[in-house]
Amino acid sequence: MFVLETDRLFLRHYKEEDIPSLHCILSDSETMKYYPSPFSYEKTNNWVKNNQKRYKEDGYGLWAICLKENEELIGDCGLIKQVVDGKIEVEIGYHINKIYWSKGYATEAAKACKEYGFYKIGLDKLISIIDPRNIPSSRVAEKIGFTKEKQVFIFNKNHYIYSCLRNRK
Ligand SMILES: CC(C)(COP(=O)(O)OP(=O)(O)OC[C@H]1O[C@@H](n2cnc3c(N)ncnc32)[C@H](O)[C@@H]1OP(=O)(O)O)[C@@H](O)C(=O)NCCC(=O)NCCS
């Protein structure tokens, strides 16, 4: 199912057939540098299944990012519930195939997801959970108007919480 579009991209629900192309991205050690390990095929399969479950239960999740020009799947971006300091927050997450890094795709997709979260779903606050060493991810958060709120211990290590409130466009 189609979710939203930007100048160069469209975002849609994951489908079963996406697993092999997504796995090329999530099994790459450089891409998954700030995760415990690159994904096994089973983990990628669960990633897709969990997001399909989120679409049904929450109405959103991480969506496949595709290039408008040829429909190639180049990563994902979207909204996911996370528990931070005991409170449910909604995070914007993003992963891009490394051959397409630094072309502004994550920023373009994340900006659209921010608008979608605030003005389509009606969320009051969005966050991003970022490893302090992950400069490209911090840059994306900053470029879409998020600011560093605090540092928390989550997913077994320290992370920055970047955030933005709906009234701050
Ligand atoms: C984070 C990620 C999604 C960014 O995707 P992207 O499409 O390359 O992002 P953009 O092109 O929109 O912006 C990247 C920014 O980081 C900057 N950047 C990239 N590598 C950098 C580096 N080594 N040092 C400093 N800045 C860097 C780019 O210059 C750009 O900033 P600028 O526009 O101010 O110049 C991508 O790096 C990725 O998939 N990383 C692995 C997965 C990941 O860590 N996801 C985030 C989990 S919180």
Give the chain's domains with CATH numbers. 2-165 (3.40.630.30)
Ligand 1 mean position to 159 CA, how many Å? 17
Structure tokens at 91: 């995070």
Residue nearest to atom 45 of ligand 1 (CA): 95
CA 95 to ligand 1: nearest atom? 39
Dihedrals φ, ψ of 135, to 5°? -60, -45
Q: Is the pLDDT of residue 48 over 90?
A: yes
pLDDT per residue as tens digits for the range 113-143: 999 999 999 999 999 999 999 999 999 999 9
Residue nearest to atom 19 of ligand 1 (CA): 136
pLDDT per residue as tens digits for the range 61-76: 999 999 999 999 999 9
Q: Among residues 78, 6, 1, 15, which one has the least CA distance to residue 49?
A: 15
**What was the pLDDT predicted at 167?**
80
Q: In what order do the strands lie in the sheet with 87-96?
A: 2-5, 9-12, 62-67, 73-84, 87-96, 125-130, 157-165, 147-154
pLDDT (average), residues 27-51: 98
SS3 assignment, position 127: strand
Q: Is the pLDDT of residue 168 over 90?
A: no
Dist. CA 35–CA 131, nearest whole Å = 9
